[in-house]
Structure formats: structure tokens, C-alpha cells
Amino acid sequence: MKLIYERSQEGRRASSLPRTDLPVPEVPEELRRERPPRLPEIAEPELVRHFTRLTTRTFGVDTGFYPLGSCTMKHNPRVNERVVNLPGFRDLHPLQEEDGAQGALELMWRLQEILAEVAGLPAVSLQPAAGSQGELTGLLLMRAYFADRGEPDARRKIVIPDTAHGTNPASVTMAGYEVTPVQTDARGNIDVEDLRGKVDEHTAGLMLTNPSTLGLFDENIEEIAEIFHSAGALMYYDGANLNAVCGISRPGDMGFDIVHFNLHKTFSQPHGGGGPGGGPIAVRERLEPFLPVPAIVRDGDAFRLDYDRPKTIGKVRGFCGPFGVFVRSYAFIRSYGPGLREMSEVAVLNANYLLARLKDAYELPFERLCMHEFVLSARRLKREHGITALDVAKRLMDHDFHPPTIYFPLNVPEALMIEPTETEAKETLDDFVEAMLEIVRDAAERPELIKEAPHGRPVGRVDEVKAAKRAVVRYLFEDHPDLSAEPSRARELEAQKGA
């Protein structure tokens, strides 16, 4: 399909904006634009058709089942889109005086209260833009906390299990800390013996996803908390998998000191093809003074922004955070109320049902019940039929399913990480099971069909190596290369896709 730039014709346009007959001041010559940007020149009918055609080549939760593990691809209620587009929210300037933004401030204050209750921790900042920014913010809180206690340089190490999302170690580096890896034991928990030798007076904290990326709740969490707290270190909860435990087990009660939420996962902000997200954090009292500014506080019946926080780490993004995300998530939570518990229960029920029906046909690395997601291995298919996790993922597309996350976590070979979420119907889960079982049968009987999948998508398997080597990352107009003239092979890296 053509790029929008290839549909462009000089002199066409879609826009009509008010003009004025007032004189336009001269821009000083050295600052004046010399060559106009080659933006598309296209009329509105073709503009709409272009983007509509792009949507037909895009798969969303609205299109079908999307069990991308660790991403919590649940249904996005449309009422949330209606309310976020109310002019009082949509057209509200972030620097509006507080008396003209009371509704927005109240909504944020209420969301803070809700998140504090769900986390089991008293203080919340909504500001971080996404989960990974929540992580970085949390680590900066640790730095500020230890600096305030007069031990800024002594504690440099952050313990991270080998199952962690890549964001955790990346955030650690960006916070100026160092990663101390810890292994997973035979039951899928943190290896407590390995851990004991690694936590000491140089440890700033732990980053843990619980349930883990294996979809398993760490059975030794109390002992782990004891190890860190007795060493004077802090515990950070990566909330990527919070959808499993709302109202069932609270991070604060598990011993965590800092938690981030992924509003785009647990609380149904639509994923938008890659974003926006929201990554609020909740913390224990002793960390509250360091939270980003402004804080949103209530004074009697009024709400205001409080910048008077002398120990704050500062601001981590503009204004108060991604407000539109807050509106959607707040609306979502209000539809459940305390029934958030049932949301998590059904998420766990759906996952265990899929697990029960698939674990014999694939390999289950840890023989346990799962939480909201689980990880299978396609190792046996690979050994017996040469069919990899990547092949399984591609063949699922022929069954009109989005593939699960693959090749993650890293300690499971040929990993397929499946998260159905609570919003799927049993029939959908049954259809998915049938597809997964059919792939196992096809692997034995007609493996080529799987290796050549997908069939009938707008493109087949792509040449990732060529993409990286040629690095054509924008349209080059008359100089644009014809990559199809160069040899092409399906070269996909067996690298993590998803999570």
C-alpha cells in the first residue's frame, strides 16, 4: 500500500483555517524557513481513506483476541471515550487557575485515594507517564531517601530476578544504580538462598513483579521482604501484573514500599498502538516527602496543587501527568467499585482454564496453578518437528488471533506467554485452545504450513535483518530506495516480542 507521501499532489490540501487580512510581520531572514517541509498534500476524502485503509491492516482488542502476555489487553469500554471527550476535560488548559480546574483536581485526588487503597500504601503521585517511568521515578525516590538518611553512596545495588521485564534493569542504569541479578528456583519463585548472599548494606532495594512474568505468585514473599527490610533496603513493586491481585493481595501488605501501576493495563486505558500509558506510583509514608511535585491535596471542599515539598525529587514530566488517562481509568474503576476483586478473580480463572487445557499439548515449565497469565514452552515442538515459538505465533494469525508474547521470560526456552484477561468469553478461550491444539497436530502432520505462516495477512514474514542493516526509517521521496529490488528472506530474530 502506498505511503501518504506517495499519494501527495502539489497544490492539494485538506485544511481550512481562519485567515486574517492583518499584516504578517517579517521573520528575520536568518530565522526564516527556507525550504518548506514536504508534508503530504492531500484532500480530505483521500486522507480519510488512507487512514481507514491503515486500520484494516491493524489488529486491536476490538478486532479479536489479543493474549499478549504481561500487556493485559482487556476490553476498553467505550463510555470511557465518551467522558474523556467532555469539553470540561478535553479543552482544559493545564495552567488554568485552580478555581477553574476543581473538577479535574478532584478527579485526580479521588484516583489517588483509590490507588492508595488498591496498593495498600498511603501516598500516591499520578505523574509518571508510563510504567517504565514509574520505575525510574521509584528508583530516584530510593536515591533521595538514602541521601536524606546520610547514606547516598553506600547503597548502589538493586536486586532484580532473571525473570524481570527488561525495563527494570534499564531503569536501574538510568537511575545510576547497578543490577544484582538473582535466580529463579525450581518452583518459579526467587531463589531465596541465592538472594541471601546478595543482599547487604550496599543494597538499595529490590525490584520485583509479583505475580512474576511466569504468572506465578512468589510463595516466599514474606521471607524476601524480611531479608530486604532487615538490611535497611527498600522494595519496589512492578505493577505490570497487578491485574491478578486487585482486592486479593495488596503490594503494601506484601512488604513493598513503592509500587507503580500501569493504568493502560490494569485500568483499561486503551493501548493506542503503543501508548499512551500511565504509571502512577504509591509509596509508604517515609517516602512521601520525596514524591514529584505538584502533589494534589484536598483542603476541606477545595482541591489544590501543592509545590511546597522541600524534599521532592522534582518533576518527572510536564504538568500533573497524562490527565486523559486518569479520566478513563477513573471511570473504569468506578464501574467496578470493590468489584475490582472479581475482575482479578476472573482474569485468574480465565488464565487457569487456558492453562489446564493447553499444558499437556505444550510444556509447562513450572507445575503450578497460575495467576492472570502463564508461560508455556514450545521446546518439544521444536525438538520433534522443528516448530518454534515464533512459528506457533505466526500460525495463530491464520486463526485470527494475535499471538502471545514470545521468547520472554528469558529463562524459559521457546516461551509462549499467554494472558487472556478477564473480559474474554469462554467461547473465545475455547476457540483459542482449539487453534493451539490444531497447531500441535499440524506440527506433526504438515509442518511446512506452520513454517510458512501466516497466510493471507497483508505481508508474510519480514526480513528484520534487512530492516536493521539498511535502516530506512523515513520516506526519502525521489531518493527512496527500492528495497524489493534487493534479495529478501524471512529473517526474524528469535527475540522477545511483547511484554
- 123 three-state secondary structure: strand
Q: How far is the CB of 378 from another protein (least distance, A)?
A: 16
> Can you tell me the distance from the alpha carbon of 76 to that of 268, in angstroms, rounded to the nearest whole number?
6
- At 495, list the grid cell: 527475540
Is the preceding omega at residue 409 within 30 degrees of 0, hence cis?
A: yes
- Cβ atoms of residues 138 and 260 within 8 Å: yes
Which CB atom, from 106 or from 438, has the smaller least distance to another protein?
106
Task: Tell which one of 232, 275, 289, 447 touches another protein (CB under 8 A).
Answer: 275
Task: Tell which one of 175, 227, 376, 440 touches another protein (CB under 8 A).
Answer: 175
Which CB atom, from 181 or from 384, has the smaller least distance to another protein?
181
Give the binding-site size for another protein (rule: CB under 8 A): 217
Q: Is 154 in the site for another protein (CB under 8 A)?
A: no
Q: Is 440 in the site for another protein (CB under 8 A)?
A: no
Q: Is 230 in the site for another protein (CB under 8 A)?
A: no
Total number of residues shown for the chain: 499
Residues 413-432 interacting with another protein (rule: CB under 8 A): 422-426, 428
> Can you tell me the distance from the alpha carbon of 218 to that of 225, in angstroms, rounded to the nearest whole number?
11
Phi-psi region of 484 (alpha: psi -120 to 50; beta: other; left: phi over 0): alpha
Q: Is 150 in the site for another protein (CB under 8 A)?
A: no
Q: How far is the CB of 237 from another protein (least distance, A)?
A: 12
Q: Is 238 in the site for another protein (CB under 8 A)?
A: no
Task: Tell which one of 283, 394, 395, 432 touches another protein (CB under 8 A).
Answer: 394
Q: How far is the CB of 194 from another protein (least distance, A)?
A: 18
Q: How far is the CB of 148 from another protein (least distance, A)?
A: 13
Task: Tell which one of 170, 231, 437, 449 touches another protein (CB under 8 A).
Answer: 170
Q: Is 56 in the site for another protein (CB under 8 A)?
A: yes
Which CB atom, from 383 or from 412, has the smaller least distance to another protein?
412
Q: Are strands 157-161 and 178-182 parallel, antiparallel or unpaired?
A: parallel
> Can you tell me the distance from the alpha carbon of 155 to that of 58, in angstroms, rounded to the nearest whole number?
46
Q: Is 125 in the site for another protein (CB under 8 A)?
A: no
Which CB atom, from 186 or from 471, has the smaller least distance to another protein?
471
Instruction: Fill in the per-residue mask, 187 to 226: x = in contact with another protein (CB under 8 A), - = not in contact.
Output: -----------------------------xx-x-xx----
Q: Is 186 in the site for another protein (CB under 8 A)?
A: no
Q: How far is the CB of 201 from another protein (least distance, A)?
A: 21
- Cβ atoms of residues 251 and 208 within 8 Å: no
Q: How far is the CB of 377 from another protein (least distance, A)?
A: 19
Q: Which of these ranges, 198-206, 379-387, 437-445, 481-489, lies near another protein under the rule CB under 8 A?
A: 481-489
Q: Which of these ranges, 2-10, 282-290, 375-383, 440-448, lies near another protein under the rule CB under 8 A?
A: 2-10
Q: How far is the CB of 438 from another protein (least distance, A)?
A: 19
Residues 299-328 interacting with another protein (rule: CB under 8 A): 313-325, 327
Q: Is 122 in the site for another protein (CB under 8 A)?
A: no
Q: For residue 246, with 0-12 CB atoms within 10 Å meaning exposed, 13-18 middle and 19 or more buried, which class applies?
A: buried
Q: Is 499 in the site for another protein (CB under 8 A)?
A: yes
- Cβ atoms of residues 280 and 377 within 8 Å: no
Task: Tell which one of 69, 111, 112, 133 touches another protein (CB under 8 A).
Answer: 133
Exposure class string for 68-105: b at 16+ Cβ within 10 A, else e: bbbbbbbebbeebeeebeeeebeeeeeeeeeeebeebb
Q: Is 157 in the site for another protein (CB under 8 A)?
A: no
Q: How far is the CB of 355 from another protein (least distance, A)?
A: 8
Q: Is 270 in the site for another protein (CB under 8 A)?
A: yes
- Quickly tell me which residue has 464501574 as its cell: 335
Q: Which of 70, 94, 117 is nearest to 271 (CA)?
A: 70
Q: Which of these ranges, 193-201, 229-237, 331-339, 379-387, lies near another protein under the rule CB under 8 A?
A: 331-339
- Cβ atoms of residues 438 and 398 within 8 Å: no
Which CB atom, from 149 or from 173, has the smaller least distance to another protein?
173
Which CB atom, from 1 or from 444, has the smaller least distance to another protein?
1
**Residue 282 pairs with which residues in a beta bridge?**
124, 259
Which CB atom, from 303 or from 440, has the smaller least distance to another protein?
303
Q: Which of 170, 133, 169 is nearest to 264 (CA)?
A: 133
Q: Are strands 258-261 and 234-239 parallel, antiparallel or unpaired?
A: parallel
Exposure class string for 418-434: b at 16+ Cβ within 10 A, else e: bbbbbbbeeebbebbbe
User: Amino acid letter at 471?
Assistant: A
- 327 three-state secondary structure: helix
- Cβ atoms of residues 224 and 212 within 8 Å: no
- Cβ atoms of residues 370 and 408 within 8 Å: no
